[in-house]
Structure 1
């Protein structure tokens, strides 16, 4: 779950950057097709890049971003397995997990039910095949489009106003706008808690309308078409996947129709999406990576820090852990075997280890089968720093906290 929350946080930051980029640099431009492609591309990057990790070995020291803090081990003194952690009292992390899962299930259910209701209503409606699309007539519809369907409450064939509506909706169909809307609905289901994604959906739908309006006004009078927009003001039919004919600010659409075309120089603004993409890659996907070979060798414990978050003060026990660590040896061999000796030179355990670059997690498996995980905070030629959470039950009560271990090579 920690990885999930990290992903949601990073992707939400990316979504915010995309929204600000569009709002500041793109919203007033009339390059609607380019704006649509750029917005969708950057949004896709924002939600996908945090899932990937691109490793860079050319820097001497790694600044590692934390991925997994649910790691439980106190060297030579405190051991706690996953079952102990699961038995912890219900805390705020558990509450957040529950709230997110409930919201996710609700959003996905709403998405699936909405699709079913849309297809069901279409299946019960009158259909007329015209060219590359199908006109679907039902009294519940307002003028809208859904994939290759044009949805209408009625179809007075030959009516000039309906011909403009048909042209408008055919643009949505030809450009595949329903796929854009469906993509946004999926993203909204995952990031249901993020208000920015709702604002981005509004921006994308506006671009759709501007694109369709632009093509209609190439064939019909902008004045007559503006009157039609005002005449068609109506409520939404409640089907979230449709590009409704008049679902957004009529005033803004009319202003955009009469706006002077953006000049070619202004198109250079879209080039700024390249540094934004590079920024997101650097923020979310670039680890100053380490690999297993970087960890091999003998490390001497130099510092032991325990930040207690729960339980009574057990200073003597903490000092015992410090004595075991400081001056002790952690030996990681090339063949994947490992050993630990205490500060007094006594063997404290041996086994195997493996390292996961995606998250920079060092996992040790002792000869007795006990598996322990460490988050590698930083690594250089001379120093290794790890961090992990611990929890254990004592006669005086439960003790929990975070241990940071520092080693010198």
Structure 2
């Protein structure tokens, strides 16, 4: 999971950097919209490695080197494992609280729109659903409705350009983009990059709506002056498309920016090549292997397979595996009597059916420690097998066991 989040985070950062440096200042709003949405999808899908360019599975057996297991008579190591369990539970609780709070806010936001529509006057003007609000608000839109201040609308104080602006949001279905990024923020609320994506998407929505208004009315300067009248109004709604969202110098300049077809084609082609390259890099199951770095097992000429899709899982997790070893391991009498301390290196293979095989001692501290470790490992229940490209594969494990006398 950590590797997945790291990869998706890197992709989000790279895609966003490309947008800010290469695309944002170009008058190619529809492409930019597609780019931002596709970047979000690819960033969370590519690391799953659903698609792979690897033609065949490696014949090598992947080696996973486990953390050292310390066995003492006073079971101090089990206390450490319990602390790890507590931290894991704490992380899960904090994450769940974040999801719960954001989900509640999201549902409340949707309900507020539903309640507003149900409790206010609704008119259909030229096929558009207009909700007339008693409170003084700026025009905004959500889903299939435009929300307007009732008195201002009836007094004819709502310029046609503002209505056209909100119609553009509805016609281009910008609400779907906002809902999509909102859901992603609920699930991945701990990733701050999504805040920047949301801001970029909503600003691009305004570029698109502004462009639609200017094409319809053909008076850029008049429309810019109209926007400046609303620039100081901070009354915005999170899920809605707001006319006054980020009325900045950039937004005004984009209205007068000239398009360069050649430049646009070049940038689109470059982005296509860039996407293909990242897709290939992150979807290729690397078979890069390296010799195990522990001096004690160097002579075994073992290898580490760095990209097993899904590692084997002991029932209940690795902490339970350590507890299983600690609970069943009986320290030989000679070790306790002579207060001997020694490290033993064990090696075993998790087969495709989850069973343990080839249990051997790479380095034995003596006094029967290696034999006892083999006995305990043979008692292990079946694991959930590792997978690569959706198929079960064998994975080799290396386990250092440090036996210490009671202190």
Structure 2 vs 1, CA of residues 288 and 213 (structure 1 numbering), >3 Å: closer, same or farther? Answer: same
Q: 2:127 aligns with which of 110, 122, 132?
A: 132
Q: 1:48 aligns with which of 45, 50, 53?
A: 45
Please, which runs of 5 or more residues in structure 1 have no aligned partner?
291-298, 305-313, 365-375, 377-383, 397-409
- Larger strand percent: 1
Structure 2 vs 1, CA of residues 25 and 339 (structure 1 numbering), >3 Å: closer, same or farther? Answer: same
Structure 2 vs 1, CA of residues 62 and 140 (structure 1 numbering), >3 Å: closer, same or farther? Answer: farther
2:146 aligned residue: 150
Q: Which moved more, 1:331-340 or 1:37-46?
A: 331-340
Structure 1 residue 172 displacement after superposition: 0.4
CA distance in 2, matches of 1:334, 1:252: 60
Q: 1:243 aligns with which of 236, 241, 244?
A: 241
Structure 1 residue 271 displacement after superposition: 2.4
Structure 1 residue 302 displacement after superposition: 3.1
Structure 1 residue 228 displacement after superposition: 0.9
CA distance in 2, matches of 1:93, 1:332: 28
Matches within 5 A, 1:65-80: none
SS state at 2:242 partner: coil
Q: Report if aligned partners of 1:45, 1:277 keep a CA contact under 8 Å in 2.
A: no
1:13 aligned residue: 10
Structure 1 residue 332 displacement after superposition: 5.5
Structure 2 vs 1, CA of residues 195 and 352 (structure 1 numbering), >3 Å: closer, same or farther? Answer: closer
Q: Does 1:116 align with 2:111?
A: yes
Once the two structures are superposed, what CA deviation does each residue of 1:276-304 show, in whole Å capped at 9, x if it has no partner?
A: 333443454432369xxxxxxxx999389
Q: 1:225 aligns with which of 223, 226, 230?
A: 223
Q: Which moved more, 1:54-63 or 1:35-44?
A: 54-63
Once the two structures are superposed, what CA deviation does each residue of 1:344-397 show, in whole Å capped at 9, x if it has no partner?
A: 997743886663225999999xxxxxxxxxxx5xxxxxxx6x46798999844x
SS state at 2:141 partner: strand
1:265 aligned residue: 263
2:275 aligned residue: 277
Structure 2 vs 1, CA of residues 353 and 208 (structure 1 numbering), >3 Å: closer, same or farther? Answer: closer
Q: Does 1:200 align with 2:191?
A: no
CA distance in 1, matches of 2:404, 2:236: 54
Please, which runs of 5 or more residues in structure 2 have no aligned partner?
289-296, 303-335, 365-369
CA distance in 1, matches of 2:61, 2:199: 37
Taking only aligned residues, the RMSD between alpha carbons, in angstroms, comes to 4.5
1:36 aligned residue: 33
1:104 aligned residue: 99
Structure 2 vs 1, CA of residues 255 and 362 (structure 1 numbering), >3 Å: closer, same or farther? Answer: same
Q: Does 1:287 align with 2:285?
A: yes
Once the two structures are superposed, what CA deviation does each residue of 1:12-68 show, in whole Å capped at 9, x if it has no partner?
A: 2221111101001101111111111121112111122223444525586879899xx
SS state at 1:256 partner: helix
CA distance in 2, matches of 1:65, 1:340: 14
CA distance in 1, matches of 2:393, 2:143: 49
Q: 1:178 aligns with which of 175, 178, 194?
A: 175
SS state at 2:95 partner: helix
Structure 1 residue 198 displacement after superposition: 1.2
Structure 1 residue 215 displacement after superposition: 1.2
Q: Report if aligned partners of 1:338, 1:353 keep a CA contact under 8 Å in 2.
A: no
SS state at 1:338 partner: strand
| TM-score of the superposed pair, with normalisation by structure 2 | 0.69
SS state at 1:247 partner: coil
SS state at 1:340 partner: strand
2:386 aligned residue: 356
Q: Which moved more, 1:222-231 or 1:172-181?
A: 222-231
CA distance in 2, matches of 1:251, 1:65: 57
SS state at 2:131 partner: strand
Structure 1 residue 162 displacement after superposition: 2.3
Q: Report if aligned partners of 1:38, 1:270 keep a CA contact under 8 Å in 2.
A: no
Q: Which moved more, 1:278-287 or 1:37-46?
A: 278-287
1:380 aligned residue: none
Report how many residues are paired: 347
Once the two structures are superposed, what CA deviation does each residue of 1:288-330 show, in whole Å capped at 9, x if it has no partner?
A: 369xxxxxxxx999389xxxxxxxxx995542x23xx3xx776
